[in-house]
Amino acid sequence: MAEMTGTDRFLCYLRGETPDKVPLLHWSVDLALALSGVSMRQFAFDPDKIALGHIRYVQKYKTDVCVVNSDLWWALEPYGVEVYITDSLIYPKKTLADRTRPDPKVYEELEYRDPFAGERARVLAKASEIVADEIGDKVAFRQGGYGPVSNLALLVGVKEALRDLILFPEAVFAAVERVMLDWTVDYYLGSLAPWKDRLTNINYGFASLDKDLAPPEFKEEIARLELEGLQRIKERVRKMAGRDIPVTTHFCGPRPDLDFVTGKFGDTLDELQFWWPGSDYPLEEAVSKFGDRYAIAAGIDHTRTLLLGSPAEVDAMVQSSMDIARDRCSFALSSGCELGIGTPEGNLLALVEARDKYGTY
């Protein structure tokens, strides 16, 4: 079989067909920043540097699939969310809810704000456009984010949202329905628009449906709202793109509730991407239950083996994952989440060698 591009490899995988090699998927703002040659203070406001760092990342570590980003808060800044930007990190300084004084008015008075009204949102959109134009025909990108419930939690503060969900759930869910559903749809449309005809997927994160995150009595309502958000996004993106776009997923938590989500979301999804080794959901079980229904992306433990292990341990991890998935599902070799700063270069290059060794068809 002739050598495929990463984009073709990924699309083949999503269709349930057999590519020349298993697609390799991982991403890292930290490592893209390091490759950009500037500090985060410049990177966060410079679309050319964001694009350069991500292009160099893909070229150096030979990923077939990646993500362009800078942080989780750029779209929330029109609400007054403030961040600290250091030489190497972006993290929240001020979200909407108060840590010590719960107040339902935070939710009752919430109004819509355009997610792309802020400077850094426009910077990231421009960076995505540069990357799409330069390498979007060769490498696939999983752009997207979270559903409306998770986005509200980021806006008010995750700890505060979990507290307030118990104290005044009606106010929280009403804010999701009244404001964050529309906000999330617009966020996705703006995030995906720069990819134009190189758009390969809609990536939908399921942080809100990890087994241990939200109280179980609210799970059904969270799922209803997250599903409504995804259905609206799919329809709007279909109109924008002029075709149906596959939905990929992201389960980044240690206890992904794949059974519940697949039961609720069904054929709205085309793929399950989750953390294994690392989470409590074995790859063997996922392949057995879902391998005939969904493409599956897993197999790289980014928190232990890849970060702290040796190249030989990386090789063994990839071999084990391929032994489980080979010929039983459409499979991509994927990290569970974003790679951290300090992930050894030797281990990342060992991933490529191991994929070629065990994942070539």
Helix (H, G, I), strand (E, B) or coil at 25: strand
Residue 99 has pLDDT above 90, yes or no: no
The pLDDT-based confidence of 263 (bands split at 50, 70, 90) is very high
Q: What percent of the chain has pLDDT over 90?
A: 96
pLDDT in tens, 100-129: 999 999 999 999 999 999 999 999 999 999
* pLDDT bracket for residue 215 (50, 70, 90): confident
pLDDT at 186 over 80: yes
Tell me the pTM: 0.96
**Each residue's pLDDT tens digit, 39-78:** 999 999 999 999 999 999 999 999 999 999 999 999 999 9
Provide the H-helix boundaries in 62-202. 105-108, 119-135, 148-156, 158-167, 169-175, 181-192
Kindly state the DSSP code that residue 268 receives in the 8-state scheme.
G
**H or E element at residue 335:** strand 331-335
Instruction: Tell the residue number behind the tokens 């919430």, with chain if given.
Output: 110
Query: What value does the mean pLDDT take over residues 140-155?
Result: 97
Helices (H), the chain: 6-14, 29-36, 40-43, 47-61, 105-108, 119-135, 148-156, 158-167, 169-175, 181-192, 219-241, 258-265, 283-290, 305-308, 311-325, 345-358
pLDDT recorded at residue 1: 67
Distance CA 11, CA 291 (A): 17
Q: Check pLDDT > 90 for residue 213.
A: no
The one-letter amino acid code at 34 reads A
Once rounded to an integer, what is the mean pLDDT over residues 176-180? 99
The domain ranges of the chain are 6-24+97-358
Instruction: Give the pLDDT score at 212.
Output: 83
Sequential DSSP letters for 115-145: TT-SHHHHHHHHHHHHHHHHHTTTSEE--EE
What average pLDDT does the segment 8-13 reach?
98
Query: What's the DSSP call for residue 258?
Result: H
Identify whether the C-beta of residue 107 lies closer than 8 Å to the C-beta of residue 163.
Answer: no
The widest CA-to-CA distance across the chain, in whole angstroms, is 62
* Level-2 CATH architecture, domain 6-24+97-358: Alpha-Beta Barrel (3.20)
Nearest to residue 225, comparing CAs of 168, 264, 260, 190?
264
Q: What is the pLDDT of residues 275-325, one digit of tens each?
A: 999 999 999 999 999 999 999 999 999 999 999 999 999 999 999 999 999
* pLDDT of the residue at 69: 98
Nearest to 122 by CA among 172, 177, 178, 50: 50
What is the average pLDDT score of the chain? 97
